[in-house]
Amino acid sequence: MTKRSELIKKTRRCVVKIGSALLTHNTNQLDLEALSAWIAQIAKLKRQGIEVVLVSSGSVAVGMGLMGWVDRPKSLHKLQAAAAIGQAGLIEAYQNNFKKYQLQTAQILLTHDDIANRKRYLNARSTLRTLLTLNTIPIINENDTVAMEEIRLGDNDTLAALVANLIDADLLIILTDQSGLYDKDPRESDQAELIALDSATNPNLLAFAGGAGTTVGTGGMRTKVLAAQAAARSNCSTLICSGSVSNVLARIFAGDELGTLLTAEGKRIKTRKQWISSQANVNGQLELDEGAVIAMKEQGRSLLAVGIVAVQGDFRRGDVVDCIDSEGKVIARGLSNYSATECLQIKGLVSQKIAEKIGYIDESEVIHRDNLTLL
């Protein structure tokens, strides 16, 4: 048994993401035949004892079709209107099809605010896990009808990875209109080869990924690689493959080596650290010296003021900040015990000097290791 087939065989909980291009065949009409085929396969997985959460794109495209719009709206409010119109039709189609297999569906709409707020994050986690115990199929989409640009998650690949983190999934399956990740753009090179298996943490993967997605979607191969990297933080591997392949989900779990499998190599991190790493809206950056980088990465230490070289951004106590090395590479993310103004004043100082500099000391660490996750 290969490493790939062994990993698939161990899967007991998975997230399946279906993109807009697949659901609509790059039109503004829902492909009910294709949708019915995926649902039949998900129902089969359920019968095999595999829990499935579905992340579905398509609400904007379906709404455009219902309104007779040919071009995707550029106005945020028109996009939100299309999502509101299309969401009802999309969920109705799912619900009617799942009923054929005596499966109940549950709709959950999320925004970045739901992920950024710790209490709402934990509530979403609890709700999803409860729904799975009730033998339902949770269907998740970004709440496009209310999400403003600054609080959007951005694409459903990112959302799917965050959901995988939320439920401690074993596998994230991203169904797309491409066969997987290639070492070159297959549209431009006849020499392009499919990457069948790699580590999600391989830094070269992003160089292979392409750019923008289709006219009806917002994601591209780059977002899928980033999603795989995010999912790997909770020890969830990611399979990127074509949803157009006949009986694709059944074949994946039967052992057929379709698409690109990006494996998670680490251990599952604690829920609190999963939440920290999932934050898309980072409020600032702390540049660290070499000693601080080594202490954090190799020794699991907290970040002290003495290791900070520079401060960027405008953040407050408790905000999420990234820690970067001298080359600008993000190495960690955490909750700062001090504001940007305070960090500017205490950077480079030993902890005993903090009170002397700013008149008080709340914490001896700028970021405690319990509130810090390596990226």
| String of DSSP letters for 220-282 | -HHHHHHHHHHHHTTT-EEEEEETTSTTHHHHHHHT---SEEEE--SPPPPHHHHHHHT----
pLDDT above 80: residue 278? no
- One domain for residues 263 and 139: yes
Q: pLDDT-derived band of residue 280, with 50, 70 and 90 as boundaries?
A: low
- Mean pLDDT over 10-32 rounds to 87
Interval 129-139: pLDDT, tens: 999 999 899 99
Place of tokens 């080596």: 257
Query: Alpha-carbon distance 80 to 84, whole Å?
Result: 6
pLDDT above 50: residue 218? no
pLDDT at residue 27, rounded to an integer: 73
- Mean pLDDT over 134-148 rounds to 77
- One domain for residues 309 and 251: no
pLDDT at residue 148, rounded to an integer: 46
Which residue, 246, 273, 300, sits at the end of a domain? 273
- Mean pLDDT over 349-361 rounds to 91
- One domain for residues 332 and 288: yes
Q: How many domains does the chain have?
A: 2
- Mean pLDDT over 92-111 rounds to 93
Minimum mean pLDDT among 28-32, 36-40, 253-257: which range? Answer: 28-32
- One domain for residues 344 and 200: no
pLDDT at residue 154, rounded to an integer: 52
Identify the CATH number of the domain in which residue 89 sits. 3.40.1160.10
- Mean pLDDT over 270-275 rounds to 76
Q: 41: domain range? A: 3-273
Q: Between β-strands 320-324 and 136-142, what pairing exists: parallel, antiparallel or unpaired?
A: unpaired
Q: What is residue 88's three-state secondary structure?
A: helix
Q: pLDDT-derived band of residue 115, with 50, 70 and 90 as boundaries?
A: confident
Query: Alpha-carbon distance 297 to 299, whole Å?
Result: 6
**First-residue to last-residue Cα distance in the chain:** 31
Identify the CATH number of the domain in which residue 352 sits. 2.30.130.10
Distances (CA, A) of 104 to 18, 20, 41, 164, 312: 19, 23, 15, 20, 48
Query: Alpha-carbon distance 92 to 292, whole Å?
Result: 53
pLDDT at residue 38, rounded to an integer: 94
- One domain for residues 214 and 313: no
- One domain for residues 17 and 36: yes
Nearest to 286 by CA among 338, 362, 359, 350: 338
Q: pLDDT-derived band of residue 266, with 50, 70 and 90 as boundaries?
A: low
- One domain for residues 92 and 181: yes
Query: Alpha-carbon distance 53 to 110, whole Å?
Result: 14
- One domain for residues 175 and 229: yes
Q: Between β-strands 308-313 and 284-288, what pairing exists: parallel, antiparallel or unpaired?
A: antiparallel
Interval 151-192: pLDDT, tens: 344 578 888 998 998 898 999 999 998 899 988 777 777 778
Place of tokens 């990993």: 7
Q: What is residue 347's three-state secondary structure?
A: coil
- One domain for residues 107 and 151: yes
pLDDT at residue 205, rounded to an integer: 87
Which residue, 251, 273, 295, sits at the end of a domain? 273
Distances (CA, A) of 180 to 38, 58, 100, 240: 18, 20, 31, 5
- Beta carbons within 8 Å of 324's beta carbon, 6+ residues apart: 285, 286, 287, 288, 330, 331
Per DSSP, the residues of 89-156 read HHHHHHHHHHHTTT-EEEEEEE-HHHHHSHHHHHHHHHHHHHHHHTTEEEEEEE-TTT--GGG---SH
- One domain for residues 195 and 158: yes
Per DSSP, the residues of 150-180 read GG---SHHHHHHHHHHHHT-SEEEEEESSSS
Contact 132, 170 (CB under 8 A): no
Instruction: For residue 3, give the DSSP letter.
Output: H
pLDDT at residue 201, rounded to an integer: 86
Instruction: For residue 70, give the DSSP letter.
Output: -
Which residue, 227, 255, 273, sits at the end of a domain? 273
- One domain for residues 323 and 258: no
Q: What is residue 65's three-state secondary structure?
A: helix
- One domain for residues 250 and 306: no
Q: pLDDT-derived band of residue 267, with 50, 70 and 90 as boundaries?
A: low
Q: Average per-residue pLDDT in the chain? A: 86
Percent of the chain having pLDDT more than 90? 48
pLDDT at residue 342, rounded to an integer: 95
